[in-house]
């Protein structure tokens, strides 16, 4: 990584908001309903307790916590004392967590009661493990200690592990400036105002969940945190005045079902939708019912979305089109094997600074700032991006390229199909062919109907050779389908 540090006095946004309007509601979570003053005081108290444990600039602190008030307090406290936060996935097994703790170089590991057994089983030898409840129970401390500090803007703030859909997760280093820039880009698009009310129902160890906390704090917005995704609870929160929420497509589908036939709430300003292929019918149905859905494209390595659709007439008219956020540069690197498409490259201040356990090998600044995403897409003359698929998900069958997302969109357009994932299986004649795992309603449609539906809409080589029926698709915490699991299952079946 670049050793240059850009230092300048940066006010702590939470403390500044608390000083301006201390009694404004700040956080509603399972265990607490706090004003700005109360949240700021809890943050200062935890920061003091962490400093007493030797935590300071640059120290890497991992956490395995439920999505609740302590997790939010920790995010702010570590930022305030210059430490690096490493949030870990509660759905991982102990061996996976041990690998991530070692890869991130964490030397302090915070756990809560709900995750204590898993955390202690995962902790490598030599790491200090502390219960966050004990730290939060320490003596209260005034919020003034965190109102202002010199921040190294390009110093690491958070290490977020990627989804690991195709291999071992990688610890992406997001700097203070990258997180600020991401929030600023979305503020420009969404016309941020203090009256916004964000709902976080994606996990706070996921980059999309973390981004919601960052935006709410910097914009002075109210934040509601759900400890798990429950469609009825999200529906109730929308009815109660939530203005913004991030969802993945399967969640939006469930929320619409829970909402029923009522008109969309007038207070709702935007649903940011991403994390996987979006069934065309779902987007059409949501917008027709008055739900302001914005489609998004982003990566862990960019701290959140970098392109958005539905916010202007061009991308509303073409649901596949996305426009880069303010401050984001996009280009597509041509690849002769992909026709007119190529790899999507991203540049901007929100791009990460490399991976924690690959020093010097992944910093995009060594490539003139361009992040090579591994995604395939096109960029037209009007600057509109269309994302086709992940490069590693591309199926090459008899020399022809098959994009799983295209086939999945066709399958999701078939009545009765609720979920679909397409992946490659080996084939003696063609090298590989597509297979589809599907979730249907009560076993319908049958294979003959599915095959006919696909043949009417796809070239013959794109039609799945087999349909595997599952009760649900394997997904990671961010809602992305784990194609590798499906491929491994297909291999063991054969």
Whether residue 335 is found in the same domain as residue 386: yes
- Global pTM value: 0.86
Does 136 reside within a domain?
no
pLDDT band at 206 (very low <50, low <70, confident <90, very high): very high
| Predicted local confidence at residue 480, as pLDDT | 79
Examine the domain organization and report whether 324 and 401 are in the same domain.
Answer: no
| 198 is a domain residue | yes
**Domain-located, residue 331:** yes
Question: pLDDT value at position 7?
Answer: 59
Q: What is the dihedral of CA 87, 90, 92, 93, to 10 degrees?
A: 120
Are 400 and 378 members of one domain? no
- Predicted confidence at residue 55, as pLDDT, reads 94
pLDDT at res. 369: 84
Same domain, 309 and 431: no
Whether 414 and 433 map to the same domain: the answer is: yes
Q: What is the CATH number of the domain that holds 404?
A: 3.30.300.30
71 domain-assigned: no
Residue 122 lies in a domain: no
pLDDT band at 485, cuts 50/70/90? confident
If pLDDT is split at 50, 70 and 90, which confidence band does 3 have? Answer: very low
pLDDT at 493: 67
Rounded CA separation 297/75 (Å)? 24
CATH of the domain at 278: 3.40.50.12780
Output the pLDDT for position 141.
58
Do 414 and 317 belong to one domain? no
Whether residues 244 and 340 share a domain: the answer is yes
User: Taking Cα atoms as reference points, which of 423, 428, 433 lies closest to residue 470?
Assistant: 423
Angstrom distances, CA of residue 399 to CA of 112, 402, 435, 460, 483? 52, 10, 17, 14, 21
Q: Is residue 73 part of a domain?
A: no
Instruction: Give the domain-ending residue among 391, 425, 451.
Output: 391
Which is more confidently placed, 493 or 453?
Answer: 453
The enclosing H or E element of 187 equals helix 176-190
Query: Is-contact 338 86, C-beta < 8 A?
Result: no
Question: 398 with 387, same domain?
Answer: no
Domain extent for 471? 394-493
What does the pLDDT look like over 40-89, one tens digit per residue? Answer: 999 999 999 999 999 988 999 999 999 999 999 999 999 989 999 999 99
**Whether residue 432 has pLDDT greater than 70:** yes
7 or 34, higher pLDDT: 34
Is residue 221, in this structure, part of any structural domain at all? Answer: yes
Tens-digit pLDDT profile for residues 102-139: 999 999 999 999 999 999 999 999 999 999 999 999 75
**Same domain for 338 and 447?**
no
Query: What does the pLDDT read at residue 10?
Result: 64
Return d(Cα 265, Cα 282) in angstroms, integer.
Answer: 18
Residues in contact with 47: Cβ distance below 8 Å, sequence separation at least 6, in sequence order: 77, 78, 80, 81, 141, 145, 146
Least confident of 77-91, 168-182, 273-287, 416-430: 273-287
Percent of the chain with pLDDT over 90: 70
Looking at the predicted structure, is the pLDDT value of residue 239 above 50? yes
- 8 A C-beta contact, residue 14 and residue 34: no
Residue 480, token pair as written in the block: 């992305």
From 391, 423, 449, the end of a domain falls on 391
Q: Is 431 inside any structural domain?
A: yes
**Domains held by the chain: number:** 2
End of a domain among 357, 391, 425?
391
What's the pLDDT at 392?
A: 82
348 vs 10, more confident = 348
Whether residue 188 is predicted with pLDDT greater than 80 in this model: the reply is yes
Beta strand pairing status for 293-299 and 304-309?
antiparallel
Same domain, 451 and 378: no
Q: Quick one: 387 and 459 in the same domain?
A: no
Q: Which residues contact 273 (CB under 8 A, 6 or more apart)?
A: 246, 247, 248, 249, 252, 283, 293, 294, 295, 296
| Same domain? 383 vs 402 | no
């Amino acid at each position: 990584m670049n050793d240059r540090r850009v230092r300048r006095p940066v006010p702590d946004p939470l403390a500044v908001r608390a000083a301006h309007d201390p009694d404004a509601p700040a956080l509603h979570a399972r265990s607490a309903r706090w004003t700005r003053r109360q949240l700021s005081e809890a943050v200062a108290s935890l920061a003091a307790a962490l400093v007493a444990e030797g935590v300071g600039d640059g120290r890497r602190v991992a956490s395995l916590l439920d999505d609740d008030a302590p997790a939010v307090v920790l995010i702010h406290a570590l930022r305030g004392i210059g430490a690096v936060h490493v949030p870990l996935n509660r759905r991982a097994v102990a061996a996976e967590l041990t690998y991530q703790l070692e890869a991130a170089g964490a030397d302090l590991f915070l756990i809560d009661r709900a995750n204590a057994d898993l955390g202690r089983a995962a902790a490598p030898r030599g790491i200090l493990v502390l219960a966050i409840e004990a730290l939060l129970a320490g003596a209260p401390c005034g919020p003034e200690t965190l109102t202002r500090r010199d921040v190294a803007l390009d110093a690491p703030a958070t290490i977020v592990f990627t989804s690991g859909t195709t291999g071992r997760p990688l610890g992406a280093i997001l700097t203070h400036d990258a997180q600020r820039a991401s929030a600023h880009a979305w503020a420009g698009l969404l016309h941020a105002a203090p009256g916004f009310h964000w709902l976080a129902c994606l996990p706070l160890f996921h980059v999309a969940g973390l981004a919601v906390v960052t935006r709410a704090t910097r914009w002075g917005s109210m934040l509601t945190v759900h400890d798990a995704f429950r469609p009825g609870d999200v529906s109730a929160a929308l009815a109660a005045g939530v203005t913004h929420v991030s969802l993945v497509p399967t969640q939006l589908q469930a929320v619409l079902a829970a909402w029923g036939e009522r008109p969309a709430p007038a207070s709702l300003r935007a649903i940011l939708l991403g994390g996987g292929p979006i069934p065309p019918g779902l987007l059409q149905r949501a917008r027709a019912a008055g739900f302001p859905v914005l489609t998004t494209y982003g990566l862990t390595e960019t701290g959140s979305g970098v392109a958005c659709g539905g916010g202007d007439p061009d991308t509303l008219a073409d649901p596949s089109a996305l426009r880069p956020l303010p401050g984001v540069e996009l280009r597509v690197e041509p690849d002769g094997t992909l026709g007119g498409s190529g790899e999507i490259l991203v540049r901007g201040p929100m791009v990460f600074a490399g991976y924690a356990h690959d020093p010097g090998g992944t910093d995009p600044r060594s490539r003139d700032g361009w992040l090579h995403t591994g995604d395939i897409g096109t960029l037209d003359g009007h600057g509109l991006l269309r994302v086709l698929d992940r490069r590693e998900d591309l199926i090459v069958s008899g020399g022809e390229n098959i994009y799983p997302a295209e086939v999945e969109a066709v399958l999701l357009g078939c009545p009765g199909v609720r979920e679909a994932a397409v992946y490659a299986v080996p084939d003696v004649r063609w090298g590989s062919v597509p297979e589809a795992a599907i979730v249907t309603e009560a076993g319908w449609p049958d294979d003959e109907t599915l095959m006919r539906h696909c043949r009417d809409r796809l070239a013959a080589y794109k039609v799945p050779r087999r349909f595997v029926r599952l009760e649900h698709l394997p997904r990671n915490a961010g809602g992305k389908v784990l194609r590798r699991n499906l491929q491994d299952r297909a291999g063991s079946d054969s």
